[in-house]
Amino acid sequence: MDKTIRVFAPATVANVACGFDIMGFAIDNPGDEVVMQLCDKPGVVIKRIIGDEGKLPLDPDKNTVSIVVKQLLEQVQSDYGVEITLYKNMPLGSGLGSSAASAVAGLHAANELLLRHEPEKAIHKREKLLPFAMEGERLACGSAHADNVAPALMGGFVLVRSYDPLDVIRIPTPEGLFATVIHPHVEVQTRDARSILRKQISLEDATIQWGNTAGLIAGLWQGDFELIGRSMQDVIIEPIRSLLIPGFDSVKISAMNAGALGCGISGSGPSIFALSKNQPTAEEVGRKMQNTFGALNIDSDLYVSGINQQGPRIINEQ
């Protein structure tokens, strides 16, 4: 059996307006790719990183793609090691789950190789890989949150009901729901975006946020687009984090005027996402958002996608 595998893992939108640290969904594009080769010598080696402009470390203890694979192989006591080539197809610090995509691609590749060569040591339920992926997030931003890695690993829309114990629920997605994601060429570091958040909030704001979160989940479950739109209101995180994104308010207004159900910050930003009830609307929303950034002399990348239901996938055998 072949000892080399190539895996794609998708970008993700976390928080989803009112669902700070507890909600996220996967999109079809962009995403990271990993080429992994099984070796007889134990250990994890990063051979090369392509597309990162030299910003990411090759040290396997300091990169999310390798640290999670190392922990997996050590825990299952594999007799093998791996060599990794990472293709960074998405920008760092984008709010699109870049570190999560790398970690999930690495984990999926390593586990698929274990299934082929040490099936008795492989993880046979994908959700069991989630705690490993979360450790990659701890390395990347200091917090082992799951709202990026869970949808990247499991696909679809997810709710992180609890972190202790970990309890992740996959939420049905209405047919026709499309996401527009725009990445302006400005950088917001996740650590910085977390550090400015308020440590205490009012009971009034908390009540509004709880209602919106419940409404968003109910809207997704029932396929009620209007309820989804009404519920995509964030009164706690967005008012603060939006200050880090030039032109945020204008871009959000342009998205809503173009027919979006709702619009908000993707993860910690600077990417902004919108949800729409069909693809043509999502594409028009994207044009309006990109034009608004362009009027501010800010270049951007635009992605229009359905909700990715698959998560990581094998894309090519070497």
Give me the phi and psi of 139, to 5 degrees please: -65, -40
Q: How far apart are CA 227 and CA 55, in angstroms?
A: 42
Q: How far apart are CA 170 and CA 10, in angstroms?
A: 16
Q: E strand or H helix at 39, and its extent?
A: strand 23-39
| Strand positions, DSSP E, 77-149 | 81-87
> Does 190 participate in catalysis according to the annotation?
yes
Give me the phi and psi of 74, to 5 degrees please: -70, -40
Q: Catalytic residue among 137, 213, 281, 292, which? A: 137
Sign (positive/negative) of CA torsion 123, 129, 131, 135? positive
Long-range contacts of 217-220 (CB under 8 A, 24+ apart): 217/159, 217/171, 220/157, 220/171, 220/172, 220/173, 220/174
> Does 137 participate in catalysis according to the annotation?
yes
Q: E strand or H helix at 44, and its extent?
A: strand 43-50
Q: Catalytic residue among 12, 190, 213, 281, which? A: 190
Q: Which residues are catalytic?
A: 137, 190
